[in-house]
């Protein structure tokens, strides 16, 4: 752990600097603590008022002491700075000056989620940072015992976000947001520590010093590339923290630092499995490699608040079949489609190999073209029509009880047909809308706001909505055709996604999704498959 603040009296408490305590007994000793004889530096008086009592921890940037402010008779945490010895004298002097300036700036921050900086004491030209002694333990320590629930992770994220907003407003970048720098204090207090201090080496490029401060797995891609960081860099780190809090590990952690930095630049993490809905949308958005495309603090706050306090169901009149979802509702990434089902769509690529069927230029004649097959799917209580050569897939044996979907994919991987149903009886979160049209408009709002992480769909794709579609015998339904180009900078593909919505009399929400290339020979075939699959979808009678 690293410790950037102070610790209380309980044995399991850590300091807000969260360094590895060299002496566990020191952290547990009752107050007042007598000077520990034999420990170098113990008993030293700093700036004429701060008596060093015990060494709490140390790290690459310094040593944290428990001390007593003899002027006001209170315990504080004091950080003795340490700059790498290999730096030239001029760079060392610049680093100390930068530390003094930024520590003073951090001392001006007045926010309950920010560790209080009381003083900057200059000793032999080096700034010693004097901070409050925070009672609690780090998030990093807590995560060693297990992961957090989505609501608790979102609550912590809101407090950290508020601390970052206060710092950014004061012109301060944190640059080392990670679980070890987040304290879980008494009375549900959340404290972010080390403001302004991590900036010391953060200003120095890799070529100058051979490294930078902070844990590589939490550092934003632009910092790895040596670009000038901004508030979006701190928000990236917050996204990694939220991912780690719910999944148990950073998505970019590798066996060594170079591999970790490479994964930060190039790896696309799997969508978080434990974080769903608005929390998942916040995490996915914050982990965008391009800082310009990450959601801002206001958007992240709205999503985290929605995760902490899910909105109550809206009145039925508001969600009429012919009306879009109201603009006052926070547009969250709803449980539209399971991750494995999205994978069935996301895995499709432009086909270059021969297929198992012959392309048909004209629209199909009759209810079911030659070569097609009907498949009754008990789990989704429907019969689905697809070309005979398509390969079937479904949730694995470890699926959740409320996952109901099936997918059929063309052998070439170019076209996928996925049918999902959300059961009203299992909808404890009240996510199912009151009509197919309302569900469609809500999804469309999500696409416009944030795209789709699983499909590499950027936000604001071109969509064609139809809230007055009909299912077979004229019952209300809805459709949406989403046209976009994948945001893969190395190999972007034009794509189309056609979605058919239908809400049964029992309140179950059915969604039939057909994904296919947006340009090329398979576009016409994909549109034909979509028309035929939708026209021949047959739901079981209740």
Q: How does DSSP assign 18-63, residue by residue?
A: --B-S-HHHHHPPSSPPP-TTSTTTTPEETTTEEEEEEEEEETTEE
Cβ(503)–Cβ(510) below 8 Å: yes
pLDDT tens figures, 120-159:
888 887 888 898 888 778 899 899 888 999 999 999 999 9
Please, which residues bridge with residue 452 across strands?
A: 457
DSSP state of 372: E
Number of CB atoms found within 10 A of residue 165's CB: 19
Cβ(31)–Cβ(75) below 8 Å: yes
At 58, the pLDDT band (50, 70, 90 cuts) reads: low
At 344, the pLDDT band (50, 70, 90 cuts) reads: low
- Range in 76-85, 439-448, 513-522 with the lowest mean pLDDT: 76-85
Lookup: tokens for 370: 């030659």
Q: How far is residue 22 CA from its own chain's centroid?
A: 33
Q: In the chain, what is the straight-line distance between the N-terminal and C-terminal CA atoms, in Å? A: 58
pLDDT of 536 above 50: yes
Q: Please state the length of the chain.
A: 542
Please, which residues bridge with residue 402 across strands?
A: none
pLDDT tens figures, 59-77:
556 788 889 999 999 999 8
Number of CB atoms found within 10 A of residue 461's CB: 19
The Cα-based distances of 506 to 20, 249, 283, 381, 443 in angstroms read 57, 40, 34, 12, 21
The phi and psi torsions of 213 (rounded to 5 degrees) equal -75, 155
Lookup: tokens for 262: 């490479």
pLDDT of 25 above 50: no
At 367, the pLDDT band (50, 70, 90 cuts) reads: low
Instruction: Report the distance separating Cα 38 and Cα 32, nearest Å.
Output: 18
Please, which residues bridge with residue 266 across strands?
A: none
Higher pLDDT, 406 or 400: 406
Average pLDDT, the chain: 77
Domain ranges of the chain: 44-132, 136-207+215-308, 372-539
**Would you state the pLDDT for residue 293?**
93
Q: Is 79 annotated as a binding residue?
A: yes
What average pLDDT does range 69-92 have in this prediction? 84
The phi and psi torsions of 83 (rounded to 5 degrees) equal -105, 140
Which uninterrupted H or E stretch holds 66?
Answer: strand 62-69
pTM: 0.51
pLDDT of 311 above 60: no
Instruction: Report the distance separating Cα 211 and Cα 230, nearest Å.
Output: 19
Higher pLDDT, 20 or 169: 169
Cβ(286)–Cβ(242) below 8 Å: yes
SS (H, E, C) 394-452: CCCCCCCCCCCEEEEECCCCCCEEEEEEECHHHCCCCCCCCCHHHHHHHHHHHHHHHCE
Instruction: Report the distance separating Cα 47 and Cα 281, nearest Å.
Output: 49
**Would you state the pLDDT for residue 496?**
93
At 13, the pLDDT band (50, 70, 90 cuts) reads: very low
The Cα-based distances of 166 to 119, 122, 162, 180, 536 in angstroms read 19, 26, 6, 20, 56
**Would you state the pLDDT for residue 335?**
40
Dihedral (CA of 323, 328, 333, 338) sign: negative
**Would you state the pLDDT for residue 136?**
78
Which uninterrupted H or E stretch holds 239?
Answer: helix 231-247
Dihedral (CA of 8, 14, 19, 24) sign: positive
**Would you state the pLDDT for residue 276?**
77
Residue corresponding to tokens 């969260």 = 18
Percentages of the chain per state (helix, strand, coil), in multiples of 5: 30, 25, 45
Cβ(121)–Cβ(130) below 8 Å: yes
At 271, the pLDDT band (50, 70, 90 cuts) reads: confident
Which residue out of 69, 176, 446, 456 is catalytically annotated? 176
pLDDT tens figures, 202-235:
343 333 344 455 589 999 999 999 888 899 999 9
What average pLDDT does range 462-485 have in this prediction? 88
Mark whether 398 is an active-site residue: no
pLDDT of 197 above 60: no
């Amino acid at each position: 752990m690293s410790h950037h603040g102070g610790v209380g009296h309980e044995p399991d408490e850590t300091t807000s600097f969260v360094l590895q305590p060299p002496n566990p007994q020191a952290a547990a000793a009752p107050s007042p603590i007598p000077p520990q004889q034999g420990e170098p530096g113990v008993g030293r008086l700093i700036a004429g008022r701060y008596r060093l009592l015990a060494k709490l921890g140390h790290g690459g940037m310094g040593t944290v002491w428990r001390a007593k402010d003899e002027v006001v008779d209170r315990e504080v945490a004091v950080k003795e700075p340490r700059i790498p010895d290999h730096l030239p004298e001029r760079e060392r002097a610049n680093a100390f000056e930068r530390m003094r300036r930024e520590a003073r700036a951090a001392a001006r921050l007045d926010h309950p989620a920010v560790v209080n900086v009381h003083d900057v004491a200059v000793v032999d030209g080096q700034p010693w940072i004097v901070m409050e002694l925070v009672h609690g333990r780090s998030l990093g320590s807590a995560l060693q015992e297990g992961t957090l629930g989505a609501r608790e992770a979102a609550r912590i994220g809101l407090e950290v976000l508020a601390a970052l907003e206060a710092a950014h407003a004061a012109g301060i970048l944190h640059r080392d947001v990670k679980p070890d720098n987040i304290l879980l204090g008494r009375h549900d207090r959340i404290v972010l520590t080390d403001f302004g201090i991590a900036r010391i080496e953060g200003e120095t490029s890799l070529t100058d010093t051979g490294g930078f401060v902070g844990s590589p797995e939490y550092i934003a891609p632009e910092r790895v590339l040596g670009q000038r960081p901004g508030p979006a860099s701190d928000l990236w780190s917050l996204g990694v923290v939220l991912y780690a809090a719910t999944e148990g590990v950073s998505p970019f952690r590798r066996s060594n630092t170079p591999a970790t930095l490479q994964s930060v630049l190039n790896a696309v993490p799997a969508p978080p499995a434990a974080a769903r809905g608005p929390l998942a949308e916040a995490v996915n958005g914050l982990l965008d490699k391009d800082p310009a495309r990450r959601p801002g603090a206001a958007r992240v706050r709205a999503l985290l608040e929605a995760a902490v306090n899910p909105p109550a169901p809206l009145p039925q009149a508001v969600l009429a079949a012919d009306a879009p979802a109201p603009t006052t509702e926070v547009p969250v990434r709803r449980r539209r489609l399971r991750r494995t089902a999205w994978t069935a769509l996301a895995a499709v690529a432009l086909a270059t190999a021969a297929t198992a069927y012959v392309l048909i230029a004209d629209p199909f004649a009759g209810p079911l073209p030659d070569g097609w097959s009907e498949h009754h799917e008990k789990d989704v209580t429907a019969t689905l029509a697809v070309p005979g050569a398509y390969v079937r897939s479904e949730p694995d044996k470890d699926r959740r009880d409320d996952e109901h979907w099936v997918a059929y994919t063309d052998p070439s991987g170019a076209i996928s047909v996925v049918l999902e149903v959300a059961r009203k009886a299992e909808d404890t979160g009240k996510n199912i809308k009151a009509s197919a049209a309302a569900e469609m408009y809500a999804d469309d709002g999500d696409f416009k706001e944030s795209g789709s992480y699983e499909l590499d769909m950027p936000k604001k794709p071109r969509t064609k909505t139809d809230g007055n579609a009909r299912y077979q015998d004229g019952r209300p339904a809805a459709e949406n055709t989403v046209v976009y180009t994948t945001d893969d900078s190395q190999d972007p593909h034009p794509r189309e996604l056609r979605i058919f919505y239908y809400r049964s009399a029992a309140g179950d929400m059915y969604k039939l999704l057909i994904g296919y290339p947006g340009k090329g020979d398979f576009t016409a075939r994909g549109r034909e498959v979509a028309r035929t699959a939708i026209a021949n979808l047959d739901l079981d009678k209740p």
